[in-house]
Amino acid sequence: MTELIPAPRTFFWSAPGYQCVDEETTLDAGPGTEGVARWLRATVGAATGLPLPDGRDTENRIVLGIDPDLPAEGYRIVIDGFAPRIQGGSATGVFWGAQTFRQLLGPDAFRRAPVRPGQDWDLPQVTVEDSPRFPWRGLMLDVARHFMPKDGVLRYLGLMAAHKLNVLHFHLTDDQGWRVEIRKYPRLTEVGSWRARTKFGHRASPLWEEKPHGGYYTQDDIREIVAYAAERHITVVPEIDVPGHSQAAIAAYPELGNTDVIDTTSLTVWDTWGISANVLAPTDNTLRFYEGVFEELLDLFPSEFVHVGGDECLKDQWRQSPTAQARIKELGLAGEDELQAWFIGHFDNWLSARGR
The 8-class DSSP code of residue 99 comes to: H
Rg (CA), the chain: 25
57's CB contacts (< 8 A; 6+ apart) are none
Which amino acid is located at 30 in the chain?
Answer: G
Please name which of 175, 185, 170, 171 lies closest in space to residue 295, comparing C-alpha atoms.
185
Task: Give the H/E segment covering residue 214.
Answer: strand 213-214
Please name which of 207, 195, 188, 187 lies closest in space to residue 147, comparing C-alpha atoms.
195
- Give the integer Cα–Cα distance in Å for 142 and 169: 8
Please name which of 123, 50, 30 lies closest in space to residue 84, comparing C-alpha atoms.
123
Pairing status of strand 75-78 against strand 85-88: antiparallel
- Give the integer Cα–Cα distance in Å for 335 and 274: 24
CA 15 and chain centroid, separation:
39
| Annotation marks residue 291 as catalytic | no
By CB neighbour count within 10 A (0-12 exposed, 13-18 middle, 19+ buried), where does 334 fall?
exposed
Residue 352: other Cβ atoms inside 10 A: 9
By CB neighbour count within 10 A (0-12 exposed, 13-18 middle, 19+ buried), where does 324 fall?
buried
Q: Which one of 3, 34, 312, 338 is the catalytic residue?
A: 312
* Helix ranges restricted to H, the chain: 34-39, 45-48, 91-105, 150-162, 187-190, 219-231, 247-252, 284-300, 316-320, 322-331, 336-352
Residue 312: other Cβ atoms inside 10 A: 13
Nearest 5°: the CA angle 309, 288, 337 is 45
Which residues form the catalytic set? 312
